Amino acid sequence: MNFDPRFSGRNFTSVGTRPIRPDGVDKVTGRARYGADFNMAGQLVGRILRSPHAHAVIKKIDTSKAEKLAGVKAVITAADLPDLTDGDAAMYDILDNCMARKKALYDGHAVAAVAAIDARTARQALKLIEVEYEVLPHVTDVDEAMKHSAPLINDAIFTEGLEEKPVKPSNVSKRTQYGHGDVHQGFAQADMIVERSFKTEQTHQGYIEPHACVASVNADGTAELWVCTQGHFVYRQHCAQLLGLEASKLRVTSSEIGGGFGGKTHVWAEPVALALSRKAGRPVKLVMTRDEVFRASGPTSATSIDVKIGAKKDGTITAAEATLRYSCGPYAGMWAEIGAMTAFACYKLENVKTVGYEVLVNRPKTAAYRAPSAPMAAFAVESAVDELAKEIGMDPVEFRIKNAAQEGTRASYGPVYGPIGIGPTLEAVKNHPHMKAPLKANQGRGMACGFWFNFGGQTCTDLNIGMDGSVSLAVGTVDVGGSRASLSLVAAEELGIDYSHVKAIVADTSSLGYNDMTDGSRGTFSSSMATISAARNAIKVLRERAAQMWDISVDDVAWEAGHAVAKGEKHGNLGKLSLKEIAAQSGKTGGPIAGHSELVADGAGVSFATHICDIEVDPETGSTRVIRYTVVQDAGKAVHPTYVEGQYQGGAAQGIGWALNEEYIYGKDGRLQNPGFLDYRIPVCSDLPMIDTQILEIPNPNHPYGVRGVGETSIVPPLAAIANAVSNAVGVRMTHIPMSPPRILAALEAEREG
Amino acid sequence: MAGVAVSTTINGDHVEYLCQPDETLLEVLRDRLGLTGAKEGCGTGDCGACSVIVDDRLVCSCLVLGAEAEGRQIETIEGMAHGDQLHPLQQKFLEHAALQCGVCTPGFLMAAKDLLAKNPSPTEEEIRFGLAGNLCRCTGYDKIVRAVQDAANVMKGA
Amino acid sequence: MRYIRPLSIEDAVGQLAGAAGPAAVLAGGSDLLVRMKGGFIEPELIVDIKAIAGLSEITETAEGFSIGAAVPCAVLGENAALGKAWPGVVEAAKLIGSKQVQGRCTIVGNLCNASPAADSVPALVAAGAKAVVAGPSGKRTIAVEAVPTGPGRTSLAKGEIIEAILLDKRAPHSGDAYQRFIPRTEMDIAVVSAGVNLTIDGQGIIKSARVALGAAAPTVLLVEEAAEVLIGRRPDEATLERLAKICSGACRPIDDKRGTIEFRRKVAGVLAKRVATTAYKRAGGK
């Protein structure tokens, strides 16, 4: 049956309400099972040996002593994994990151692993593995890495995207460019130009649950993997491909996930756990320590960005340009490219040009982090926009409204926008009481906008109707923050039944077709589309069964508010049949009733947000306090508004941490100095105020209910909003994130000394 | 390494176990007793996900040795509800959506229970500082604070 | 590895002295377990001192207070008499870690961990606190500042335990205060800190004072020159500025993940001014 995904205005019964989530009781009673909460009979403990060097050739690894230790059941190095040297380069990099083959490329890079009968034996065994390193010069700073004199991280990388193919290898893996018009001409028309350079430090997603999995590989090539992941189908694909397993024989079950934010979209230790299990012939549980999580998994890019924006006295931006350098870790990435695409996406620009450089450094492989790459670009651009507004004497909100993109605007990254929410969020901010609230001494207010693409992708759901009329919904997108509640609401809405009769689960990879992972804010967007489609397919079956029960044509049966209704004068005496009544007869009318859907959820619908924040600065110490914070964002349609608010608040909190205190600090030796929650300072409860939210609903034309993804955009504006607030509070433009107290105090002292 | 025999009380039940001298209470709870409600987020007392109450004191079970539990009264998240009757804090966390991923939730609930036992009418600031030892990366704490405020009101009325 | 829970200080001392390998004293464990987890220490013997009679108590005597080595900081905060007499010491102890850590950590542990950034130590030094050391050759009482000798190092010999911290009976018109700088509002280690303890006369003139700085040098700094600035004066603006300047100058800090040399110097002075003002008010000065 053809599924029409177009938006149709309708009155909702279930969607937009705020019921308790279906997985809630398990989570408040401690029964929910996360990655490390699962065990298998006879399981071993896996541990990974990691490089203490930022950059070193692995000359030799001697595992013989570890192998001889009583209780050790398997020791592996890269030699035990398939050699993908001449295969797919991307897969080679993924596997090399899981276990270094030739060189250790960052402090924390895995070089060997053991499986033993208990944690103590495993730890002991790691100490007995002898690795001979030839330590090489390293580079961890993004700007340093671009210099010709910088140590070369991979001599097979030649910068892509240049007009002429370079003859020498480089730490810059790729140059990309976006934009349209002629920026030179545009700047020539400007009355005022602001040009500035910005830096942001590397941050980590900081999910509270470390990576954890239990792997079990059998002698016949079948395998099971229990794992905390944002995408178990993707993990299956990658693990199978990396280890030479058949995908359908590897059953991956996603555990409850204790936060991911993009960091659990990449395989890290899972292929290692499977390889250990294969070698030991027993299940292996592998749980990362917090230290390992910081040193070896998921940080975002550190960046260095130059921005130039020009405007006329009337506030019209005439040209905008940015050069963005993003660190990728030691492997090629596409992070600067995303930054280059998002940088000016909020604005309607005649002349715009952005150039991105992907830069290799001796740091862990850069991973996605909630609207990856966009917050840093927004920090630079929105800081410059604020400064330019000030220079020409315009209110920063009015200045943005004047230049905001609209329906029909050609985005700086190429496409033409449909109906979008940047203008409405700015209007809402302009009229928000927060903007008019008085400020006290040493306080400053800032605001900023943010954009994110959102993503749809491959999606598949099964909806099964039990004989008692209750509905089980099996989805393939991992629930990272309440999507089982929102998808149950959607199923209830479409079927016309009560939410309490729907139970949503996340199915394993053997029970459902392929699903892309929960990234790109797609969980609720794409799975709700597939759920609506599956429900409509089930309704078709329900109508057929009702027709059978009534012995009339299915064409005369409509579905209204959870009931089959016989249409037409001649059936006037038939009344209606509830879903429950039809389900009860299903055994006699053709068997189980179900609806399935497999689709590519296109048309995710871009997302915009505008944030306001007030900051107080202690001018003697550079200490900051967030006094008030407001998020305004377009949700398209908020399916479960409480969890939409939660996404807004959570993204804002992460952005606040990034703006003020979070950063990877490397020593001169190239080692990470703060791989723990003590000195990697994520916001604690007493650091934050209540975070006010305002949900706007500008329907996405490409979704039946108008839904847009909401998960990521909320982390895009905070860096800039806070930088603008701090700059306004202290009277000095802050250009380096995080704005930690030493940086603020140093900026103040420099200003005082003139 | 010699095992240590421990006799203790967990959620009102008498429990005996043998543990290694360097084994933490968290490891004992999770790996020996199957009480996996307490989570290891850091293992260094910085995140609070492993919070339990020992003799009326809130502690990180990763910073207590299993051997130290001898003769103590230990409360974990598994003992918070009475049968199928959720504790008001559990109920309010659900109603306010004070959890997204939920991995920090058991620790927050134990900390909030301890907070309200010692201060039944906390201000917002007292709640925020009282829960500062528990990290949440999903919610921005807003809904957690509101849930605790609401639970405090319900518990005072009860 | 062995875990023992002796019932007497003599037994504990004997076991520690006789240990074949590295031995560790366990009171609150909030430093020890972290170091064990990180693989920085693998003790052969863990001596849990919490079952030793008297070590988990705060006693008030004619001379002042004796705080047992196993008393958690949370208990210090709950002791009204101690909080009234030595608010600076108590507020410092209450700053260590989270609520969870408060239920376990001890000021003796904080002292013996010998971190330059230990919160309770500058307050104890400013207060003129003493440590009662029990060892194989008997007991001795030493100034708190004599305990740490460098980051992670103490003057305690093998087999020695600090069994209590002594604080004097409070002289009238006295006050103490402690503040630290941290980037967040909780859960951080001090970037730099200051403790001031002073006594004033009937006219509000400072008669005696002690000023200590934390995280400003390899060990806690007792800045006598800073105390001299206060003595004989009121904490007026000029005096406070001089105090700040001397404290900033006395620092011998390092650049690290928590702060820079310049930041620590500057903020040490700022905090010294602020705590001196608080201590003065607590002493009854106006």
Please check whether residue A215 is in contact with residue A232, taking contact to mean a CB–CB distance below 8 angstroms. no
CB contact under 8 A, B139 and A34: no
In this predicted structure, what is the pLDDT of residue C147? 98
Partner B contacted by C7 (CB < 8 A): no
Q: What is the pLDDT of residues A613-662, one digit of tens each?
A: 999 999 999 999 999 999 999 999 999 999 999 999 999 999 999 999 99
> Shortest Cα distance from A25 to chain C (angstroms)?
25
B129 touches chain C (CB under 8 A): yes
CA distances from A114 to A80, A97, A212, B129 (A): 12, 17, 15, 42
Q: Sign of the CA dihedral C33, C37, C40, C45? A: positive
Contact A684 C262 (CB under 8 A): no
Percentage, residues of chain C above pLDDT 90: 99
Mean pLDDT of A455-471: 97
Rounded Cα distance between A129 and A65, Å, is 7
Does any CB of chain B come closer than 8 Å to the CB of residue C97?
A: yes
**What percent of chain C has pLDDT above 70?**
100
**Closest alpha carbon to A206 in A644, A679, A632:** A679
Query: How far is residue A526's CA from residue A600's CA, in Å, rounded to a whole number?
Result: 8
**Banded pLDDT at A36 (limits 50, 70, 90):** very high
Chains that contact A by 3+ CB pairs under 8 Å? B, C
The answer for B 139-158 residues in CB contact with C (under 8 A) is: none
Residue C224 CB partners (closer than 8 Å, separation 6+): none
Q: CA–CA separation, B113 vs C278, rounded Å? A: 34
Mean pLDDT of B62-86: 97
Q: Do C187 and B111 touch (CB under 8 A)?
A: no
Other beta carbons less than 10 A from residue A669's beta carbon: 12
Portion of chain A with pLDDT greater than 90, in percent: 97
| Chain B touched by C51 (CB under 8 Å) | no
Is-contact A677 B44, C-beta < 8 A? yes
The DSSP line for C50-97 is TTSTTTT-EEE-SSEEEEETT-BHHHHHH-HHHHHH-HHHHHHHHTSS
Partner C contacted by B75 (CB < 8 A): no
Q: Distance (Å, rounded) from C-alpha B130 to C-alpha B151?
A: 15
* Mean pLDDT in residue range C86-110: 97
Contacts of C among chains (3+ CB pairs under 8 A): A, B
Whether B1 shows a pLDDT value over 70: the answer reads: no
Q: Which of residues 68-127 of B touch A (CB under 8 A)?
A: 76-78, 80-81, 86, 90, 93-97, 99-106, 109, 124-125, 127
User: What residues of chain B lie within 8 A of the CB of C1, using their CB?
Assistant: 1-2, 20-22
**Contact B133/C100, CB-based, under 8 Å?**
yes
For A18, nearest residue in chain B (alpha carbons): B95
Across the interface, whether the CB atoms of A620 and C186 are under 8 A apart is answered no
Helices (H), A558-637: 579-584, 586-589
Where are the strands (E) in chain C, listed by range? 2-4, 23-26, 45-48, 58-60, 64-68, 130-135, 138-143, 148-150, 153-154, 161-168, 174-181, 192-200, 206-214, 221-222
Integer Cα distance of A717 and A450 in angstroms: 5
Residue A573 binned pLDDT confidence (cut-offs 50, 70, 90): confident
Instruction: Find where tokens 């991995």 sit.
Output: B103
Q: Specify the residue for token string 């058949």.
A: A246
pLDDT at A379: 98
Touching B: A residues 629-648, CB under 8 Å: 642-643, 645-647
The pLDDT of residue A575 is 87
Which amino acid, one-letter code, is at B116? L
pLDDT of residue C110: 97
Place of tokens 């528990």: B134
Q: Per-residue confidence at A132, pLDDT binned at 50, 70, 90? A: very high
Confidence of residue B95 (pLDDT cuts 50, 70, 90): very high
Average pLDDT over residues B117-142: 98
CB atoms within 10 A of CB A207: 25
Interface of A with C in 612-631 (CB under 8 A): 620-623, 625
- Each residue of A210-258: pLDDT tens digit? 999 999 999 999 999 999 999 999 999 999 999 999 999 999 999 999 9
* A chain contacts of residue B93, beta-carbon cutoff 8 Å: 24, 28
**Chain A residues lying within 8 Å of B49, measured CB to CB:** 208
Interface contact B143-A642, CB threshold 8 A: yes
Minimal CA–CA distance to A465: which of A473, A453, A454? A473
Residue A1 has pLDDT above 70, yes or no: no
**For testing the chain A interface, which of C37, C257, C264, C271 should be mutated: the one with the most A CBs within 10 Å?**
C257
Dist. CA A506–CA A512, nearest whole Å: 9
What pLDDT digit, counting tens, does each position of A671-713 carry?
999 999 999 999 999 999 999 999 999 999 999 999 999 999 9
> Distance (Å, rounded) from C-alpha B69 to C-alpha A532?
53
Q: Give per-residue pLDDT as tens, C4-34.
A: 999 999 999 999 999 999 999 999 999 999 9
Give bridge partners of residue C179 from the DSSP assignment. C194
Written in H, E and C, the secondary structure of A629-663 is: EEEEEECCCCCCHHHHHHHHHHHHHHHHHHHHCCC
Q: Which residues of B touch C2 (CB under 8 A)?
A: 2, 21
Structure tokens at C148: 């740490």
pLDDT band, very low/low/confident/very high, at A568 (cuts 50, 70, 90): confident
**CB nearest to C29's CB, from B21, B64, B134:** B64
In this structure, how many other beta carbons lie within 10 angstroms of the beta carbon of residue A690?
17
Q: Does B14 touch chain C (CB under 8 A)?
A: no
Cβ neighbours around A90 below 10 Å, total: 11
Asked if the Cβ–Cβ distance from A660 to C183 is below 8 Å, we say yes
Q: Three-class SS of residue A592?
A: coil
Distance from CA of A670 to the nearest CA of C (A): 13
Which pLDDT score is estimated for B158? 66
- Please name the residues in contact with A709: beta carbons below 8 A apart, sequence gap of 6 or more: A452, A454, A455, A520, A521, A522, A523, A524, A525, A604, A605, A607
Please provide residue A6's backbone torsions phi and psi, each rounded to the nearest 5 degrees.
Answer: -65, 150
Contact of A342 with A451, CB cutoff 8 Å? yes
Distances (CA, A) of A563 to A495, A575, A582: 9, 10, 9
Sign of CA dihedral B150, B152, B157, B158: positive
Give the lowest-confidence range in A150-154, A197-201, B129-133, C40-44: C40-44
For chain C, count helices (H), then strands (E).
11, 14
Residue C260, min C-alpha distance to chain A (Å): 7
Q: How far is A667 from chain C (nearest CA, A)?
A: 9
Nearest CA among A373, A409, A381 for reference residue A320: A381
The pLDDT tens digits of the residues spanning A717-737 come to 999 999 999 999 999 999 999
Residue B28 DSSP class: I
The C-alpha atoms of residue C101 and residue C107 are separated, in whole angstroms, by: 12
Closest-CA residue to C196 (of C76, C84, C283, C79): C283
Please state, in angstroms and rounded to a whole number, the distance separating the CA atoms of residues A365 and A307: 26
Chain C residue numbers with beta carbons less than 8 Å from the beta carbon of A123 are 39
- Contacts with A673 from chain C: Cβ below 8 Å: 256-257
The pLDDT assigned to B2 comes to 76
Residues present in chain C in total: 286
- Is residue C177 within 8 A of residue C278, CB to CB? The reply is yes
Token pair of A408 as six digits: 């029909």
Which residues are A256's β-sheet partners?
A34
Candidates C29, C38, C186; nearest CB to B65? C29
Residue A370's φ and ψ, nearest 5 degrees, are 30, 105
Structure confidence at residue A2 (pLDDT): 76
User: Considering only CB atoms, which chain B residues are within 8 Å of A29?
Assistant: 37, 77-78, 80-81, 86, 90
Tell me, yes or no, if B24 comes closer than 8 A to chain C by beta carbon.
yes
| Confidence (pLDDT) at A742 | 96
Among A580, A225, A478, CA closest to B100: A478
Q: Rg of chain B's alpha carbons, rounded to an integer?
A: 16
CA distance C257 to chain A (A): 6
> What DSSP state is assigned to residue C39?
T
Contact in structure between B73 and A11 (CB atoms under 8 Å): no
Q: What is the mean pLDDT of chain A?
A: 97
Q: How far apart are CA A696 and CA A712, in angstroms?
A: 16
